[in-house]
Structure formats: structure tokens, C-alpha cells
């Protein structure tokens, strides 16, 4: 951004596409990347001219601050293709706003929204063929910023690299999902970075999640760090509980991510008159509801995972299985959301963005 004006984007196209080597029917989430990526450097106190170039390795000094202090944030977005081959983003401005809120918390300069969108649209147009039609197929978009200044003094970097890479996607979880409620470890604390998509929030979950996996759970539902009495967020998703006909989810806070799928589900619940309560949810009430047979469903909501039903949970060494649900809320909201994302239903909320 020079003198407050958006910059032109330099584009170098890949000499050949890798697309023919990709098995789109058997995609593993996040393993394959499209032909191009977007990149923009922050130097001398401003964002320089953005570039789009062939996807490939980048070079960094070993002392780059991102390696030492984890000064890095990211987003997750998706693009969808409708039956007429039009490409749509879902609520991209909400992602960009959150990207910049995360940046501010990590002392990273904000990235200009209009350059972000213009660059992303250019990138998506170049890699359009990588977006496949059909419910469940999408292009997962991963924008991120890393601190690139060499030097190991513990202070904010003066230089950054903004990038967007894209990966064709189907499901995030390949099998059934069961979760365990956290009793010992914590994801986020008051006044911390839990609300931000800070890279370290995710890295710090790997060890406890590995322990949970050894017990047969795919994810942890994080509880509040001070008492472990309140259910907050699952590792890669916000979480909803259906008790009777009522849908419950925790309010956002400085510990909980302001999930875009989460707030879309809440808006759809209000539209379709599904009773929804956004309030603190206790471990005790959910365990008791499960014991009385009143806990009908749990599901996660996130960009990567979309809406993912949760089959059961563990707490204090006990396991609870949830009943198979006909007409589940999870599948209702997933369908409603996809109909909007794939341009099959009216977009009352103005969530779709044509590329
Ligand atoms: C997303 O849903 O986009 C996320 O950020 C989760 C990610 C860690 C896979």
C-alpha cells in the first residue's frame, strides 16, 4: 500500500499445471496445493507490491522470528463452485476482519482488506479448475502471515510475509468423531490469544490431542482454564450441544474463536426457529443430560470441518455414546449452509461473494 492506494498485483503464471496428477476423489485434507500462491512482503514500514507466482518453497533466514517466537497468524476460508461453474466465497470479509484482529493481537501489521480480496480473486481465477462442483467439494484457502525479520531478540519483527495458498478439499475428518472433555490441559486463558487464529494456539493442542487419540478420541473439548467447569471450544471447531430441542453454544470471549460457521449456524437457527441459547455451558449439565438421555446431539462447526457430528464423549474415565438421530440438527444446518454456499438457495443474509 503506497500512499494509501491499493497496489497492482504482479502475476507470474505457472508454466504447466499439476492438476492432472491429482486424485480429486481421494483427497486427504490439506495435502495437495494448487498451481499458484499469493505473496506480499512487509518492509520499510509498509506492504509492498503483492505477487502471485507458482506454488513452491520460500527461503527464510534460520533466525527469522517466526521460528523462535511463533509470531504467525492464519485464516481458513473456502471457495465453492455452483452448477453453472461460478465460484463463490463464503463471508470472506468476516475472515479478513478476523485475520486483522488476530494480527493486531500478535503485533503484526494489518493487511489491507481490498488488496487481500483482489489478490484472492486473482488467485482463484487462475486456479479455477481446482475447484470442483458438488456438495462437499471445495477449495480450502489458507491465508497467513509470518514474521521474517532475522534476529533472535524477543521483539516484534520489522518484516513480514503475507501468503495465500489453496488446497482442494473434501471432508476434514475421515471417520467418526468422538471427543473428550479437558480436565487438565487448557487451550486459552483470560487475556490471552485464544480468540486469535495464532499458529501457536494450534501447535499447543497437539500434545494433549495425541494423548486423547491414544484413548480413542479425535478431539478435545477445551474447558475454561480456571475451573475446567465450562465447555468452550473443540480443537478445530466451535461446538454445539442439543439438549431436548434446544441448541446450546458458548458465547465468544477472549478465549474462544469467533467462528464464522458458528455465527452462521446461530443465524440459521434463529431464521428457522430452532431454539438457540448462547451462554456458558457446564460440563455438569451436559454429563447429566447425557445420563438422562436428554443430550440428543453434539456437533462441531468450523470452516475446514463444516458441520461435523460428534458421536460421543469421554469425561472422568467414563464414555457416553449419543443416540443415532433422525432429522438431526447437524444435518439440517449442514444442508442449509451448503445450499447457500453452493448457490442453491436464496442468500438472505448476503453471505455469498461472487468471484
Ligand atoms: C478452519 O476451520 O479453517 C481451521 O482453522 C481449522 C484448522 C486448524 C484446520
- Per-residue pLDDT, 172: 83
Q: How many CA atoms lie within 13 A of 20 on its CB side?
A: 2
Q: Is the pLDDT of residue 2 over 80?
A: no
Residue 54's nearest CA partner among 20, 21, 12, 116 is: 12
Strand 51-54 with 10-11, pairing: parallel
Q: Atom 3 (ligand 1): residue with closest C-alpha?
A: 76
Q: What's the average model confidence in pLDDT over 297-314?
A: 95
Q: Is the pLDDT of residue 4 over 60?
A: no
Binning pLDDT at 50, 70 and 90, where does residue 7 land?
A: low
pTM of the entire predicted model: 0.95
How far, in Å, CA of 210 to CA of 202, rounded? 13
Atom nearest to 197 CA in ligand 1 = 5
Host H or E run for residue 213: helix 206-214
Write down how long the chain is: 355
Cβ < 6 A, ligand 1 pocket: 76, 202, 236, 302-305
Largest pairwise CA distance in the chain: 63
Q: What's the average model confidence in pLDDT over 226-230?
A: 96
Atom nearest to 30 CA in ligand 1 = 9
- Per-residue pLDDT, 245: 95
Q: What's the average model confidence in pLDDT over 151-163?
A: 97
Atom nearest to 304 CA in ligand 1 = 2
Q: Is the pLDDT of residue 251 over 50?
A: yes
Q: Is the pLDDT of residue 229 over 90?
A: yes
- Eight-class DSSP state of 158: S
Residue 197 burial (CB < 10 Å; 0-12/13-18/19+)?
buried
Q: What's the average model confidence in pLDDT over 25-41?
A: 96
Q: How far is the CA of 337 from the centre of ligand 1 (A)?
A: 17
Atom nearest to 202 CA in ligand 1 = 8
Q: Atom 5 (ligand 1): residue with closest C-alpha?
A: 76
Residues 6+ apart with CB under 8 A from 23: none
- Per-residue pLDDT, 3: 45
- Per-residue pLDDT, 39: 98
Q: Is the pLDDT of residue 235 over 60?
A: yes
**Could you read off the pLDDT of 106-138 as tens digits, one per residue?**
999 999 999 999 999 999 999 999 999 999 999
- 53-62, 171-180, 185-194 — which one is most confidently predicted on average? 53-62
Q: Atom 7 (ligand 1): residue with closest C-alpha?
A: 236
Q: How far is the CA of 290 from the centre of ligand 1 (A)?
A: 28
Prediction ipTM score:
0.95
The overall average pLDDT reported for the chain is 95
Residue 250's nearest CA partner among 262, 235, 236 is: 262
Q: How far is the CA of 308 from the centre of ligand 1 (A)?
A: 13
DSSP letter string over 269-335? HHHTT--EEES-EEHHHHHHHHHTT-EEEEEEEETTTEEEEE-EEEETTEEEEPPP-TT-HHHHHHH
Q: How many CA atoms lie within 13 A of 232 on its CB side?
A: 27
- Residue 338 — φ and ψ, nearest 5°? -65, -35
Taking the CA atoms of residue 212, residue 170, residue 295 and residue 319 in that order, the dihedral angle to the nearest 10 degrees is -20
Q: How far is the CA of 303 from the centre of ligand 1 (A)?
A: 6
Amino acid at each position: 500500500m503506497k500512499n494509501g492506494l491499493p497496489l497492482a498485483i504482479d502475476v507470474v503464471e505457472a508454466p504447466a499445471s499439476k492438476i492432472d496428477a491429482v486424485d480429486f476423489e481421494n483427497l486427504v485434507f490439506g495435502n495437495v496445493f494448487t498451481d499458484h500462491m499469493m505473496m506480499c512482503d512487509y518492509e520499510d514500514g509498509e506492504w509492498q507490491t503483492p505477487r502471485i507466482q507458482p506454488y513452491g518453497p520460500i527461503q527464510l533466514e534460520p533466525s527469522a522470528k517466526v521460528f523462535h517466537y511463533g509470531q504467525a497468524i492464519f485464516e481458513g476460508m473456502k471457495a465453492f463452485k455452483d452448477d453453472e461453474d461460478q465460484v463463490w466465497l463464503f463471508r470472506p470479509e468476516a475472515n479478513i476482519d478476523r485475520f486483522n484482529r488476530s494480527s493486531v493481537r500478535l503485533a503484526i501489521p494489518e493487511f489491507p482488506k481490498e488488496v487481500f480480496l483482489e489478490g484472492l480473486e486473482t488467485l482463484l481465477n487462475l486456479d479455477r479448475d481446482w475447484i470442483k462442483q458438488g456438495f462437499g467439494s471445495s477449495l480450502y484457502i489458507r491465508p497467513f502471515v509470518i514474521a521474517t525479520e532475522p534476529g533472535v531478540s524477543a521483539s516484534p519483527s520489522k518484516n513480514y510475509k503475507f501468503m495465500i495458498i489453496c488446497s482442494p478439499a473434501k471432508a476434514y475428518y475421515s471417520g467418526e468423531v468422538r471427543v473428550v472433555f479437558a480436565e487438565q490441559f487448557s487451550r486459552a486463558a483470560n487475556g490471552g490469544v485464544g480468540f486469535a487464529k495464532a499458529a501457536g494456539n494450534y501447535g499447543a493442542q497437539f500434545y494433549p490431542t495425541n494423548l486423547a487419540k491414544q484413548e480413542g478420541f479425535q478431539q478435545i473439548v477445551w474447558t475454561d482454564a480456571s475451573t475446567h467447569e465450562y465447555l468452550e471450544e473443540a480443537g478445530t471447531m466451535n461446538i454445539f450441544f442439543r439438549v431436548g430441542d434446544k441448541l446450546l453454544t458458548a458465547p465468544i470471549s477472549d478465549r474462544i474463536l469467533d467462528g464464522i460457521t458458528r455465527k452462521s449456524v446461530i443465524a440459521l437457527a434463529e431464521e428457522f426457529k430452532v431454539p438457540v441459547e448462547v451462554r456458558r455451558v457446564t460440563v455438569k449439565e451436559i454429563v447429566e443430560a447425557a445420563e438422562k438421555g436428554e443430550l440428543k446431539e453434539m456437533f462441531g462447526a468450523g470452516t475446514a470441518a463444516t458441520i461435523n457430528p460428534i458421536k460421543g464423549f469421554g469425561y472422568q474415565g467414563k464414555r457416553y455414546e449419543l443416540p443415532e438421530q433422525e432429522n438431526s440438527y447437524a444435518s439440517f444446518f449442514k444442508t442449509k449452509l451448503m445450499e447457500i454456499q453452493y448457490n442453491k438457495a436464496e442468500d438472505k443474509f448476503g453471505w455469498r461473494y461472487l468471484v
